[in-house]
Structure formats: C-alpha cells, structure tokens
Structure 1
C-alpha cells in the first residue's frame, strides 16, 4: 500500500512566519530525540560537523530519524561541507532539514541546494533518483513533487568570505534559511571566544539585515531566554535554546549547590 511522505513541520512554521524552537542534542541519542518531541520542541539539531557519527553513517541516521518520526519532531542536521554527494546521502536517509557549514560562495550554496532537488529553479535538479528510506523504499505517493516541496536546505554564515558574498548567497534560488554563526565568525575575525566583540556583533547585524531584506528566514543561537525572546521579536524564525549537556549541567549543578550535606 502506497504511503505519502510526512510533511515538514519546520518548513510549515517558516512558511507561516512562525518561530521554530529547538535544542542541540550533542549526545546523539534516539531516546532523547524522541523525548524532546514529547516535550513539544519543533526541532532537534544534530551537529555532524563538530561531533557525533559520521554524516555518511546511514544506519545511525536511520535510528535518529525513526525516533523523530515517533513524535513528529523535525531533525535539523548540520553537515560539515557543502558536498552535493553528502547532501543527497542525508536526504535519501530521510533527513528533511539540512544546513551546510563552511560555505563561502553562492556557487557552493547553489550546488548544495540543487543537489536536494529533482527539479530546480525551472530546470533539472541534481538529486539522485532511487528507492531509499526517504521514499519509504519506493512506496511513497508522489515522491518527486513532495520531496522538492518539503526539503529545506540552509546555510551557516560563519566566516568573512561568506559575509563578503552575503547578498549573492542569499539570492540563491530556493535557499531555505540562513543561520548566523557568531562563534565561528569570532574566530574568522580574529577574536576566538569573543562573540560579543563589536566587530563580530557588527557582522551578525549585517547578516540579520541582509536576510530580512532578501526575505530569507533567519536562524541563530539563543543565549538565555531573554535573548531568545528578543531575537524572536526581531525576526529570527529558527532559534536554538541550548544543548542536552548544557541543560544537564545546569540542573545537576543546581542540585549539588542546593545540597545541605
């Protein structure tokens, strides 16, 4: 019996000008992915650039995706390079939301987005056609149209070269979102560990203004709920609230601090 692929909740939120809230799960645990969905988060961020399983490890992705499917939370998967082959691999596993690290030029971004589409910008796309998990192993109805409509590919703006090419990057057809990376921007500007340095903050503000002007949804890190609320009010649509280990640290530290023994 044919199945319809599930719709992309994150894409629906962005299309409706709503705000999506999520958490970085830096334990890469299917149990926690499922639990975060039960708690009502819109997405779980899996960072395959800095840690975790290899982005080529389809079996690990399968387990994490099944956990997300159980509670209809979306996975937001960051891959380490704008390699079109890696884009196709992740999407065939069933990932719907990708964001690409280390981009510098619009052409790199265009190749990555085109690799996610069967049809792209009125022409042929570069997505490989097969019967992978994304198509429910060939049983999904209208697989080509649905995948092109539901897949979301964004980029991290995290270095000076990308900033120099920002307008051209944001003009790439069907770009899903731009995610500001202040920590890596700080490194790129020669201020590692100083995301609040004025030069870095000016760069962040430039990304914010340009994304708004281009009509590209904006994503970023929340540094506490006051910052999250401020960014949501200023137009951010994808906001990461924190990490699994950060949340555990905060709670366990408070327990230890409150212990009277």
Structure 2
C-alpha cells in the first residue's frame, strides 16, 4: 500500500467500527478492498482485539491501519508492536503533533520508538537488528486527519514534516468546525479541502477522504485525491440488510 500511494495509485478502503471478528479482514480482502482502518478513536476495540485482527491481516498480506485515540508513546508502540501497518491520527492541528507521531512511531535515527523485536511485528524473526530497524522504518505508514480550521491554516508546516505518508480529510468535523454542521457543500469547505490538496501535492504527499457517499468521493478524486475510505462494516451491513428486506417484502 505504501508503494502504491506514493506512486499516485488510487486505493479504496473502509473502516472497521466495532465488530472485532478477525476473519472479517479475509472477507474484505476477497471482496476487493485495498485496506482497512480499525477505528480505535470512536470504536471500543481493546489491544488484544486489534492484535488478533493484525495477526490475520499479516497472514494474508493485507494492510491494516489503526486510527488511534491520542498521540502517546504507549498507544502507538503497542499497536505497531502488534503488527499493524500504519497509524492514523485524528484531529491534528499542528506540525508539532505530527512530529510527535513520527518520533514515537519510527526507530532511531528517524525517531525514538522503543525496541522490542521478539514480537508479531517482526514475525518473531527480526534478524540483524540494524537491518530490521531500517526495514521497519521504511515499511510503516503514518497518516493524519485534517478536520478543523487550525490544521488547514497550518497545512504548509504539516506537510513539511518528514516521513508523513498521507493526509485524510474528515468532512464531518471539518464542516462542523467551519460552522456548517452536516453540510459538506459550501464554498469555504471546498476552499479548505482544495488548499490541503494543492499544498500536499507540492510535497508529493497523497491526500484522501473519509465518507460514505461514493458521489462525494468521486468529486474529490477529480480534484486530485487518491486515497478513499468509504463506509464501514456497520454501514455496509445495515445497507445490505435494508436492500434484502426491500426486495423480499
């Protein structure tokens, strides 16, 4: 996934909101999804549940990203040591926050991640430590979510942070922060999103969107976005049930 997004290829994923069954990941891969975001910001997954999901994902070579509740060393390290492929931070406001994310998530010399390699993230076989640390730093992905006017205003400093892999727009909270709760279709919303896209493109950082409306995602694909997270297991399950009932009844 990291290679794809930095080559400008489009990827389409979805959120896992609260169903912790690890084999859902196998189903999502077979269905054609490119990646899954385990939502530990709003979701109530515990570390052992995320570790089980990551274990299945690693076994089938499928990208798992965790949206974390806060930027903390213990939080980031536990998820990465469990074997997830990337960390996604919501509600970013400043470049300093992004620097903390990289510091906690990367090994020396790129960061200060604690070293404990007899863990799932190394498949319990890290080999030579110097080589493993270098490979892990290269492989792990780091994303931030832009969803307030502070982040939009600070976007130039945010994209300047080394080792940031991508930016996702959170339209619900961004619209709310701009004073348009529930309304994505406003000029200042469009201006804010376009500013993020254009600024990130100057640094070759891919930009994406989180939304459940495919038409809205297509709009931003035409504006240059290449990463999309559409809906969740709960949203799709509900829609599937409703579709079945409408046909049966």
* TM-score (structure 1 length as normaliser): 0.86
TM-superposed CA distance for 1:52, in Å, is 2.6
Distance 1:165 1:139 in 2: 38
Cα distance between partner residues in 2 of 1:51 and 1:43 = 17
CA–CA distance in structure 1, aligned partners of residues 171 and 230 of structure 2: 15
Are 2:90 and 1:101 equivalent residues in the alignment? Answer: yes
Separation in structure 2 between the aligned mates of residue 129 and residue 61 of structure 1, nearest angstrom = 20
CA–CA separation in structure 2 for the residues paired with 1:84 and 1:196 = 37
In structure 1, which of residues 129, 133, 137 is the aligned counterpart of residue 120 of structure 2?
133
C-alpha separation in 2, matches of 1:32 and 1:223: 19
Q: Distance in 2 between matches of 1:101 and 1:139?
A: 31
- Structure 1 residues 140 and 42: alpha-carbon distance in aligned structure 2, compared to 1, 3 A threshold: farther
Provide the secondary structure at the position in 2 that maps to 1:118: coil
Distance 2:232 2:25 in 1: 12
Partner of 2:187: 198
Q: Aligned residue for 1:50?
A: 42
Q: Which residue in the other structure is 1:173 paired with?
A: 162
CA distance in 2, matches of 1:250, 1:209: 34
Task: Pick from 247, 258, 261 the counterpart of residue 236 of structure 2.
Answer: 247
Single out whichever of 129-138 and 16-25 deviates more from structure 2: 129-138
Distance in 2 of aligned mates of 1:227 and 1:185:
15
CA offset at residue 193 of structure 1? 2.1
Structure 2 unaligned segments of length 5 or more: list them: none
Equivalent residue for 1:23? 14
TM score, norm. by length of structure 2: 0.90
Aligned CA distance change for structure 1 residues 28 and 194 (closer, same or farther; 3 Å): farther
Q: Deviations over 1:59-95 (max 9, x none)?
A: 2121001221233221121112222332222111111
Go from structure 1 to structure 2 and tell me whether the alpha carbon gap of 1:140 and 1:231 turns closer, same or farther (over 3 Å shift).
farther
Determine the C-alpha separation between the residues in 2 that align with 1:21 and 1:53. 23
- Aligned residue for 2:145, secondary structure, equals strand
Q: Structure 2 CA distance, aligned partners of 1:61 and 1:222? A: 23
SS at structure 2 position matched to 1:95: coil
Say if 1:157 and 1:163, in contact at 8 Å, map to a contact too: yes
The alignment of Structure 1 onto Structure 2 pairs a total of residues equal to: 245
Give me the whole-angstrom Cα distance separating, in 2, the residues matched to 1:99 and 1:150: 15
Who is 1:185 aligned against?
Answer: 174
In the alignment, which of 100, 103, 127 is matched to residue 111 of structure 1?
100
